[in-house]
Amino acid sequence: MKNKKVLLGMSGGVDSSVSALLLKHQGYEVIGTTLELFSEGSSCNNNTYLDAKSICSQIGIEHFVFDYKKEFKEHVINDFIQCYSNCKTPNPCIECNKHMKFGVMYQKAKELGCEYIATGHYAKTEYSEKYERWVLKKSNAGNKDQSYVLWNIPKELIKYILFPLSDFENKEEIRQIARENNLKVANKPDSEDICFIPDGNYKKFLENNSNIRPKEGNIVNLEGKILGKHTGLYNYTIGQRKGLGISNPVPLFVLGFNKEKNEVIVGEEDKLYKKEILVNNINLLLVDEIKAPIEVGVKTRYSSKIAKAKIVQEKENIRVIFEEPQRAITPGQSAVFYMDDIVLGGGKII
C-alpha cells in the first residue's frame, strides 16, 4: 500500500487547522507539527502551540513541537538584518519557506516516516504532462494566492508537497468548514505581521537585535542637492512619500539610497518607474535553465499585479524587461516568474 503519511505544519490558525481536517478526511495519516522558531513575545508563542495541539487532539491526530530557533535565526532573522543593513527590503516569509517549512520540516518528515509534507498555504502542486514534471501553480484563491512566497522552495520537493486548500476560492469557505466541525479557531483573526515582530515595529526590532542604529544623513535629489535630513536609512522604503520632512513644489518620493554616503535619494514620481531590472539568487522550478528569452508574467511583490515581461539569462543573473514600466521596484524583494498559472521560478531583485 502506498505510504499516505503526511507531516503538516500547524500555526494554530484556521488555515492549517482545516488542512489537518481535510487531509484526515482524504485518508491520510496526519501528524501535526509546530516549529518553535523564536522566543517569547511573538505571535508564535504558547497560545499558538496550545491551539495547534488542541485542534490535533480534537480531530484525533498526533502533534509535536520541534525546536528550530537556531536554524531560524541563522537563515531568516540574520538575512532580515543583513538586508536592512544593505538598504534592501526583505520578505522573511520566503526565506522561512525555503529553509524551515520546506527545509528542516521536510527532513523531520522523513525521520518520522512520512512521504509528504503539507501546509495551509493557498497554492497548488500537480504533475504536468506538458512539462513532464511536477509543478507549483497558483491556487484558486485569487488575491489570497500564496504561490509568490513559495518560488524559492527546492523543486525536487514539489511532488511531496500537499496544499489541501488549493481549490478553495476564499477564506470564508475555510472558516465555514471550521465552524461546521466546531474547531475553536474558526474565527481566529489572520496574522498580518512578520511572525517574529508581532507589534509590527521592525525598526525597533532591528535596533534591539543588531548594530543598526539611527544615523542622521542627508536627503538629496538626483543631482546631489541636499534637501533635508534623514534619521537612518533603514527608516525609509522605496516609493515612500510621507514623513520625509521636506517641502517641495511637486511631491517627492524615495528613489533609492547611497549607503557609502549615508544618503536617501528622492525625486519626482515618474522616476520611480523602471523598464528593466536584474535579479540574482535564481531558483528555477519549471525549467532547468533559460537558454533563450522567455515571455512571462512577473510579480515584483506579494501585493502587486502580474506584469508582462521578457526574461533573459545573463550569467548568474536574469534580466527582466517589462512591457510597461513598473513602479517602485524594491531591491531585496522577489521577482517571481509565471507561465500562465505555473510558477517558472524567481529571484531576488538587485
Which residues have a catalytic role annotated?
A: 96, 195
CA gap 174, 170 in Å, rounded:
7
Distance CA 117, CA 134 (A): 15
Q: Is 70 exposed, middle or buried (0-12, 13-18, 19+ CB in 10 A)?
A: exposed
Which residue is listed with cell 504532462? Answer: 129
- Give every CB contact of residue 267 below 8 A, 6+ residues apart in sequence: 221, 222, 252, 253, 255
Helix (H, G, I), strand (E, B) or coil at 280: strand
Helix axes 78-85, 202-209, angle to 10 degrees: 100
Q: How far is CA 253 from CA 109, 268, 300, 334, in A?
A: 47, 6, 19, 21
